[in-house]
Amino acid sequence: MNHVGPRLLKWLRGGERPQPCAAQPSAVSRSSRHSTGLAEFTRLLSTRENASVLDLGPTSSANISFLTGFGGRVCNEDIVHASREARYMTKQEDGSLALDTQRFFSENLGQPAQQFDAVLCWDVADYLIEPLVKPMVERLQHLLKPKGVLLAFFHTNEAGPEHAPARYHIISGEFLDLEPRHDLRRQRVFNNRHVENLFKGYSSLKFFLARDHVREVLAIR
């Protein structure tokens, strides 16, 4: 039986072209949205020299181009996609399958402490299975440098056709392109108290409620 070791990650700099995770649909199918949280994230990122950023969404050449414009590097981990890999599932005594969280985190988000100036968490927490959410947020706190910044999105209503899963592409310091995804199902809806408890180890939180029923959260380590 072949053993699969820890995931190898590639640091990306400006001008590099990553291989896409899947075929890119036509840009016509995309929509755009303004993000006050992204604007604040961008402002804070611009104050750091050679900033290193962790992007937890699918690989996006637009994100890499924008983020490396600050002179630093970008590391990409599609954490939701990784959590669905069959090799992380183990059979329980009753015959059911459960995700092996210990193995998952031994092979994902395994970078050294205080590696990143910023993290783009997007709406990952809405789509991860419950056992991974709190450990992931704690791991991200461990990976952030002091005063590092994290941006996360939380949908404030139940899933509907107008709030389908999306892949986020940065088109400017405050605007995003949303590319529809058809391979995800939302796991939960967080309220303010749940979000505050989730980030209780961080030094500060700032909330922005967007018109499209998305709560944008800026967390500072």
The CATH number assigned to the domain holding 178 equals 3.40.50.150
Predicted pLDDT of residue 20:
37
Q: Find the domain containing 70 and state its range.
A: 24-83+113-220
**149: in domain:** yes
In eight-state DSSP terms, residue 212 is: T
Each residue's pLDDT, cut to its tens digit, for the chain (221 residues) gives 433 334 444 566 654 443 333 334 444 488 899 999 999 999 999 999 999 999 999 999 999 999 999 889 999 999 999 999 999 999 888 989 899 999 999 999 999 999 999 999 999 999 999 999 999 999 999 999 999 999 999 998 765 545 667 899 999 999 999 998 888 888 889 999 999 999 999 999 999 998 888 999 999 99
Predicted pLDDT of residue 21:
36
**100: in domain:** no
Q: Who contacts 137 (Cβ-Cβ below 8 Å, separation ≥6)?
A: 125, 198, 199
Tally of domains within the chain: 1
**Token pair for 2:** 């072949």
**131: in domain:** yes
Predicted pLDDT of residue 95:
87
What is the full DSSP assignment across 123-166? THHHHS-HHHHHHHHHHHHHHEEEEEEEEEEEE-S---GGG--E
Predicted pLDDT of residue 8:
40
Predicted pLDDT of residue 185:
86
Q: Who contacts 178 (Cβ-Cβ below 8 Å, separation ≥6)?
A: 30, 31, 32, 33, 166, 167, 168, 169
Q: Are 59 and 207 in contact (CB under 8 A)?
A: no
Gap between the Cα atoms of 95 and 58, Å rounded = 32
**42: in domain:** yes
**68: in domain:** yes
Name the residue among 189, 110, 203 with its Cα closest to residue 153: 189
Gap between the Cα atoms of 201 and 107, Å rounded = 23
**89: in domain:** no
Q: Are 38 and 217 in contact (CB under 8 A)?
A: no
**38: in domain:** yes
Q: Are 90 and 118 in contact (CB under 8 A)?
A: no
Predicted pLDDT of residue 194:
94
**153: in domain:** yes
Q: Who contacts 105 (Cβ-Cβ below 8 Å, separation ≥6)?
A: 135, 139
Q: Who contacts 19 (Cβ-Cβ below 8 Å, separation ≥6)?
A: 59
